[in-house]
Amino acid sequence: MSTTFCTANPSIDHGAKIAGKTRTDFMLDAACEKAEELLLDRTLFVVDTERFERFQQLLDAPVNRDAFDRLMSRKAPWD
């Protein structure tokens, strides 16, 4: 893991200015976007046998159409 010292980096201030945000808000947004990206890109989940079997049951269960329609009508957190 690398650490970058960027308080004097003019691109941060320039980016914040273009976005119409303070440096703090700009950096918080960037940090949140990176965290979401990392979490959404996870492809390996390790679970015990009981949880995996429950997961398989949920996948095999019939779709509750109303719940599915409500879910699909919500805005995705990454949009």
Per-residue pLDDT at 52 exceeds 80: yes
CA dist list (Å): 16 to 23, 26, 27: 6, 5, 8
Q: How does residue 7 score in pLDDT terms, banded at 50, 70 and 90?
A: low
> Does the pTM of the predicted model rise above 0.95?
no
pLDDT of residue 22: 93
Q: How does residue 4 score in pLDDT terms, banded at 50, 70 and 90?
A: low
Question: Would you state the structure tokens that stand for residue 48, as one six-digit string?
Answer: 């015990």
What CA–CA distance (Å, rounded) separates 23 from 13? 6
Q: How does residue 5 score in pLDDT terms, banded at 50, 70 and 90?
A: low
How far is C-alpha 72 from the chain's CA centre?
Answer: 17
What CA–CA distance (Å, rounded) separates 27 from 29? 5
How much is the average pLDDT of 50-56?
Answer: 95
What CA–CA distance (Å, rounded) separates 64 from 18? 45
